[in-house]
Every structure is written in C-alpha cells, then in structure tokens.
Amino acid sequence: MNTLKFFLAGILGVNLLGVAAALPQATGNQAALARQSSIVFAGTVSQLGATSFVGVPKSAQTIVVRVDSVLKKPSAVSLKKGDNVTVEVKDPSAFHDGTQATFYADGWIFGAGVAVKELGHEFRPSGGETPKPAGVDEKAHQQAQEQIGDQELRDRLNTADFVVIGRVMDVRRWNAPKSATTRISEHDPDWHEAVVEVQSVLKGGQVKGNKVIVRFPGRNDVAWVHSPKFAKNQQGIFCLNRDQASGVPTAMVGGRQVTVYTCLGHGDSLPMSDVPRVRSLLKN
Amino acid sequence: MKALAAFWLRFLMLAVFVTIAGFVFVRGQSPSIKVVNLIPASLSGETNQDSEPFLAVQTVNPQIMVASAFTPNPFSASGNAPVYVSEDGGVTWVLSAITPVQRMTCDITHAMPTGENHPRGDLHAGTLACAASITLDESESNDVSSSAVMNVQSTRGNVDQPFVRALGISNSDHIYVGLNDFNQPNGHTATVDVSVDGGATYKSIPIEMRKTAGQDGPSVRPAVAADNTVYAAFFGWRKFNGTVATSDVVVVRDDTGGTAPNPFQALKDPSDKLPGRIVVKRVSIPWSNAPTLGQERIGSTLSIAVDPNNSSTVYVGWADHGSKGDIYTLHVRRSTDRGVTWSKADLPHTTIRNATNIALAVANNGTVGALYQQLSGSRWVTHVVQSRDAFATVQDVILANVPANTPTQQFLPYLGDYDYLLAVGTEFRGVFCANNTPDLANFPQGVTYQRAADFSTKTLTDGSGNPVAISIDPFYFSVPVKP
C-alpha cells in the first residue's frame, strides 16, 4: 500500500515539476515572445506529426492545433476560432493530443489554412478549462504590440545619424550635376530635396545654420513605395542618415558645401505626436 | 413499387449529373481553360497591389509551379519576400517566404530547369532588393516545397530588371539572366549573365556592340532552345531625351549555350557588320514613369520566344509609340532562318494598339502564343492569342476584362512591367495581374478564387464575413494549345 502511495506521489510530483518548469519559463518570457511574434493564439492540439492543409511539409515537428481564440494576427491573415493551424514546434515531445496552450509564432506558409513556426508556448491548465476572456488577453497583447513598434523604432533611432524635430521649408526637384553618373531605370528615384529647418536635435550634434537638406525619392515606384515623401510646411520628427544613395552626398547652400541627408525607410518620418515616445526611447 | 424504384434511380442519376456539372462549371469555369486567383484563402484580408507576375514550371513534373508578384511578406516587415507554390498543377497555391530578399522584391523572375536531379523543383531566381541601393541576388532552391530560404549564389549592385530563363542540359542547369548592367563600360549595358553549372558561377556577357545613348533600355530577354541555341533581345537605345527613347530592337544569338569564345556574336547586321541583328531600326518608344496607359507606366515592353523543336524559328514582340493618337502599340515579327532575316512588317493581327505586357511562347507543335493586356475604353482586357500560321489566322481567348480605373494605384507598375507565358506540353500556362472584383462577367472563361469571395454580391470578404477592398491580384491560367 505504501509502495503504491509512493508511486502515485512520485507520478504527481514529476507531473507538477514538469508543469512548474514550463510555466515560469513561459510566463517570464511572455512579453518578449509576444513582441517577437506575429501570430499569437490559444488552441488545443488535435494531431501530432500532421499538417492541416496541402502544401505544408509534414514532419515529426508539425502538429495540428484547433484555434480556441486568436490573440494577435496581421489584418491580412484569416484566422478565427475553430480553424486548424499547423504549428512547427521546437519540441514535439512536449505536446500530446488535447494539450491546451497559447502559441507564440511567426507566419510560415499560407494556403487553404495557416501554418506557423513556434517561437514559444505557454501551457494552459489542463482539464479543458475555458481560455481567459479574449478581452483580457487582447489588452495585454495590444500593449505588447505597442512595444513591438517601440522596438522597431528604437532600432531605427539607433542607426540614424541625426534625429531632429523640424519643419519642411521648401521642396524642390533635385537634378544631379552633369558630372554625376545618372542611369535611366523604372526604379529611378526622381530625387527631390526638402529643406528642413531644425527646431530641435534629439540625437546627433549641432546642425550648422539650423537647416539641413534631406533628399527623398519623389517616384511612386515599387522600390520607393515605403519611403516618406515630404511636403512644404510639414512638421515632424525625421530620422536622418548621411546620403549614400543619390551618388552626390553634398550640396551647396549659401555658397558653402553642406552634407546632404536621406530619410528613406518606412517610419523615418514621424508626426509630432510621437515626440514624447521618441524622447523616451532615446533616453532609455 | 418497381416504378417508384426506377423513378428514384433516375432522380439519383440526375442529381449526380447536376452535381458533377456544377463542379465542372463552377463559377463559369470552362472545362478546358483554367483561371485561378493566386491569393490563398488564409490571406483573404489582404489588399496589396500584387502586381508584376511571373511563373516557373517544373518541366519533368509540371504539377509543380512557382509564381511571384509584388506580394509582401504577410506577417513581417523584416521577413523574407514570398512566392506562390503549387504542387497540383495550379489548382491550389500556397504563399511561402523563400526568397532571399527582405519583405518584398522590386523585381523577380525565375525558372525551373531539370538538368540537376531535384524533382521537387529546382528554382533559379533573379531578384532585386530595393533599399538605399538596388541589389541583384541570383539564387537557388533545390526543393520549392521545403519552405527553406533560397541559397544566394551571386550578388551585385547597379543592375536592373533581371530576367531568368534556364534549360537543363547534360545533368547541369544552364541559366541565362538578361539584365541591364550599369557596371558595363561605354554604355553597353544590355547584358546576359550566363551560368552553365547550375548557378555556381556566372559570367556577365555584354551583348550590345553599338554606340548607345549612355545605356540600353531596361528589358533584356533571353530565349533558350533545346539544341543549346540561345537568343537574346534588347532595346539598343540610340537617343534618349527624357520622354522618348529612339531605339533599335536587336536580337543576338549563340549556338553553344553562351559558352563560345565570342558569345552571342553569331548574328551580324548587314548594315554595319556588327554583332546583333537589328529587327527594327530607330523606333520611338515613349518613356513615362507615371500613369500613362490607364494607371500603368510604359517604356520597356519586350518578349522573345524560340520554337523548342526548331531553333530556326524565333519570334520577337515589343511596344513602341505606334501611330498618331495611339499611346503604346504592340508588334510581333518572325524569323525562320535563325534570326538572319526578319519579317519586314508586323505579322498579321499583331499590331495591337494601346496594349502592353506582351509575352510570347512557342509550343512543341509549333503553335505560337501571345499573352497581352490591352486598355479598351476604361477596361483592361487580357488576351491569349494562338496561331499555327504566324498569326495569319488566330484564336483569341479573353481571360479577363476588368475595370481599369479601380482600384487606385498604390505604386508603379500598376499591373506589372511584364507578365509571362510558357508552353508546357499541350498547354499554354501563364500569369497576369488584374482587378480582383469577384464578378463572373469580368472573367469570360470562368475563374476560381481561393480567397473568400462572394460572386453573388461581387464582394471580397476576410473569411469572417467582413468586406475587403478590391485590389490587384495575380491570376494563373492554363489554355490548351491549338492542335
């Protein structure tokens, strides 16, 4: 009898240890995982070593999970409660038929269904308990999504030579000097220049004369569709880098040669409402 | 009782017939012509301008195909740009992020030769990545269904519009990438990158030998025949004033797969004895990097196709200014003596006004096919024309007839600077882009959508019943080759 008690206690202990080992790790990483993940959903494992639609390579690492609730996804992706998702998991031995978990994942293959690659997971209490109300999770994940934006912005701020608050005083087409090599291509940027009056420097040294020239593509070609376009009197925050794109990195202003900057990436031009956020990110 | 049983049997047979007929003619689809919207069901919420399509077919197993467009990675700005993969002959497609470019390419073409033993799709691609500078990657995947990111074999900058053709010869893949290479000296920018070892090494071969206006036009198009004959067509720009290029349409040929000591110099023009046969001299080609033909830009439309079983027969199609009052006119010419002489005028039925995106292909039985898109009134009309007699008599099939003024362009190109046509056995297969309104009247041969679409209300939905805005989507098609 005592032997049986010890045996049962041992099984219980091992199981509890396993859950305990999984939960703190997952909980501790939850915010980071949510930041990294493009798709987060709660679901129940329905098949192991299987896939949910044709076109996904089946392996021992692929499992099929029925979606209980969607916590985060890109707007283009169709994913809803009851859908079957293929998840390529890191450790298939951690799952069995009926396992309930929150999956933190990145997109993988999109076809008749969605296939994702697991970045992490968090087991939900077993026994078929109802997942947390969607609103609670969504709130948490909305916060996480905001932090994702912050992370991308922080990376961008780190790589910028200057971050300034300014106003666009003038916009003009820039014609490369005859000495410069020009090429005719459908991806020709059709460079324009914005003269930006610097009102405040958030990153970088003092700007001589308080004006900088920012070169930007005027063309709406596919190559430049995500680059900011500037208009006269536009005010905002500008992430600037020394011009390495136009082939002529300087310009003459008032008889003196000045460095020219570019502002090419999506998110390199931000509205004034982002000033507190940018200041905070630069400070931290 | 017996009569009742017979009634039910007849009823059942009728029901089965109606069901089968319903499947065959689903959404008006003709049983022999297939048109499929490539956007998968799980991306029903997308509204991107998925323009500029391309297609590769695995020759030994034509069930496997890869298509591409300006489709961004659907879940990450830093993830890899995707391609569409079909393993069932184009019935269904998945989007898989396997190109080496971040987020979205700004040019991509590809081919699947069969020289190497990679039966699940040996894909060779030329991609442009556009950030602060434009970079070409020449890359390979040995299994397009594995979802592994393609292996970059060669990289360089300062080039434009890579156009990949390939052929398997003696257990190796011969790859030909036509491109406008601004690194070439003296403005001789028309170039073919040649690899005869599956992309392990490439040699850049300039194919322009005449004085240019500082450069050639963007389109450089190779065509490969089974006997190792390789042609390439390009626009030899002789003058350029910012809005009009005065250009020769030039064809070069190599009889040994581009490996001769002086490659691509087999054809010489009688006028100056220089390599490169001038098919047509000094045509005016409007260059407009703004909405000009409807919402589409124009300036470099070119295609070349060789008869796979008779490399003496080769067709060239291009667009120029055409006649007064016309914006952009297509033309097709033919040579039956390996490019030495060419038809003096356009082939019959091939002077096509206000049209672009011509793509030519020749089937095994010698039937020539031409895919093109014509602005007709306020509609974009996509045609596939076939002929057995150099377009003297033609079979014209309209695949799509869609509004040209919606949706509003997100960027240029609106539909693409090119589309694509291939001959595969007894089929012409290809891809084009069009307004994706789910309206059967827009697709005379019928159409199949993978994404959520309600044809009765002519609306797209996100899969949960919420409406989704109309956008430009890529469409795959298959049309039987005219016997």
**pLDDT score of A11 more than 70:** no
A219–B289 C-beta distance less than 8 A? yes
- Same-domain check for residues A253 and A162: yes
Instruction: Name the DSSP class of B442.
Output: G
Residue A1: per-residue pLDDT? 43
The mean-pLDDT minimum among B138-147, B354-363, B447-456 falls in: B138-147
A220–B409 C-beta distance less than 8 A? yes
**pLDDT score of B14 more than 70:** no
- Same-domain check for residues A166 and A232: yes
- Same-domain check for residues A96 and A168: no
Residue A54: inside a domain:
yes
How many domains does chain A divide into?
Answer: 2
Token pair in block for residue B429: 């297969």
Mutate: best of A187, A222, A244, A262, partner B, most B CBs <10 A: A222
DSSP three-state, residue A197 = strand
- Mean predicted confidence (pLDDT) in B426-451: 98
Average pLDDT, chain A: 84
Token pair in block for residue B162: 């890579």
Closest Cβ–Cβ partner in A109, A224, A244 for B94: A109
Residue A52: inside a domain:
yes
Q: Show the beta-strand stretches assigned E in chain A.
A: 39-48, 62-72, 84-88, 100-110, 114-123, 162-173, 191-203, 211-217, 235-242, 250-253, 256-262, 269-270
Q: Tell me the pLDDT tens digit for each residue of A228-277.
A: 999 999 999 999 999 998 889 998 877 888 999 999 987 899 999 999 99
Q: Tell me the pLDDT tens digit for each residue of A34-83.
A: 878 999 999 999 999 999 999 999 999 999 999 999 999 999 999 999 99
Compute the distance between CA of residue B180 and CA of residue B236 in angstroms, rounded to an integer: 11
B147–A109 C-beta distance less than 8 A? yes
Compute the distance between CA of residue B140 and CA of residue B116 in angstroms, rounded to an integer: 12
Residue A10: inside a domain:
no
Token pair in block for residue B413: 């190109």
CATH number reported for the structural domain that contains residue A250 in this entry? 2.40.50.120
- Same-domain check for residues A271 and A160: yes
Compute the distance between CA of residue B288 and CA of residue B266 in angstroms, rounded to an integer: 34
- Mean predicted confidence (pLDDT) in A138-163: 69
- Residue in A99, A109, A133, A126 with CA at minimum distance from that of residue A53: A109
A222–B106 C-beta distance less than 8 A? yes
Residue A284: per-residue pLDDT? 77
What is the residue-wise DSSP string for A153-182?
HHHHHHH-SEEEEEEEEEEEE-PPPTTS--
Residue B140: per-residue pLDDT? 93
Residues of A with CB under 8 A from a CB of B: 38-39, 53-57, 74-80, 106-114, 152, 181, 183-188, 190, 219-225, 244-245, 262, 264, 266
pLDDT band at A143 (very low <50, low <70, confident <90, very high): very low
- Same-domain check for residues A39 and A116: yes
- Same-domain check for residues A123 and A207: no
DSSP three-state, residue B90 = coil
Distance of CA A40 to the CA centre of its chain: 14
The mean-pLDDT minimum among A149-153, B304-308, B454-458, B475-479 falls in: A149-153
pLDDT band at B131 (very low <50, low <70, confident <90, very high): confident
- Is residue B122 within 8 A of residue B101, CB to CB? The reply is no
- Is residue A45 within 8 A of residue A96, CB to CB? The reply is yes
**pLDDT score of B15 more than 50:** no
- Mean predicted confidence (pLDDT) in B32-60: 96
**pLDDT score of A24 more than 70:** no
Q: Show the beta-strand stretches assigned E in B100-148.
A: 108-111, 123-130, 134-141
**ipTM rounded to 2 decimals:** 0.91
- Same-domain check for residues A76 and A119: yes
Alpha-carbon distance A52 to nearest alpha carbon in chain B (angstroms): 12
Residue A19: per-residue pLDDT? 36
- Same-domain check for residues A164 and A257: yes
Token pair in block for residue A134: 């969607």
**pLDDT score of B26 more than 70:** no
- Same-domain check for residues A210 and A267: yes
- Same-domain check for residues A195 and A108: no
Residue A229: inside a domain:
yes
Residue A1: inside a domain:
no
- Is residue A118 within 8 A of residue A112, CB to CB? The reply is no
Compute the distance between CA of residue B263 and CA of residue B228 in angstroms, rounded to an integer: 13
Average pLDDT, chain B: 93
- Same-domain check for residues A192 and A244: yes
- Is residue B429 within 8 A of residue B89, CB to CB? The reply is no
Q: Tell me the pLDDT tens digit for each residue of B52-68.
A: 999 999 988 999 999 99
- Is residue B244 within 8 A of residue B294, CB to CB? The reply is no
Structural domain range at position A221: 155-176+187-283
In chain A, % of residues over pLDDT 90: 62
- Mean predicted confidence (pLDDT) in B299-321: 97
Residue B78: per-residue pLDDT? 79
B201-219: b (≥16 Cβ within 10 Å) or e:
ebebbbbbbbebbebbbbb
Residue A45: inside a domain:
yes
Q: Show the beta-strand stretches assigned E in B241-346.
A: 244-254, 277-286, 288-293, 296-298, 302-307, 310-320, 329-335
Token pair in block for residue B337: 């003596």
Q: Tell me the pLDDT tens digit for each residue of B166-183.
A: 998 878 899 999 999 999
- Mean predicted confidence (pLDDT) in B445-469: 97
In chain B, % of residues over pLDDT 70: 93
- Is residue A65 within 8 A of residue A85, CB to CB? The reply is yes
DSSP three-state, residue B258 = coil
Residue length of chain A:
284
Compute the distance between CA of residue B263 and CA of residue B203 in angstroms, rounded to an integer: 11
Please give the residue that has the higher pLDDT: either A180 or A133: A180
Compute the distance between CA of residue B480 and CA of residue B478 in angstroms, rounded to an integer: 7
Token pair in block for residue B247: 């250009």
H or E segment to which residue A278 belongs? helix A275-283
The mean-pLDDT minimum among A29-38, B124-133, B325-334, B337-346 falls in: A29-38
Residue A17: inside a domain:
no
Token pair in block for residue B251: 């064809």
Residue A148: inside a domain:
no
| Phi, then psi, of A135 in degrees rounded to 5 | -60, -40
- Mean predicted confidence (pLDDT) in B85-108: 95
Sign of CA dihedral A220, A221, A224, A226: positive
**pLDDT score of B230 more than 50:** yes
- Mean predicted confidence (pLDDT) in B117-126: 84
Chain A partners within 8 Å of B246 (Cβ): none
B85–A55 C-beta distance less than 8 A? yes
- Same-domain check for residues A161 and A101: no
In chain B, % of residues over pLDDT 90: 85
Q: Tell me the pLDDT tens digit for each residue of B198-222.
A: 999 999 999 999 999 999 999 999 9
Residue length of chain B:
483
Residue A209: per-residue pLDDT? 80
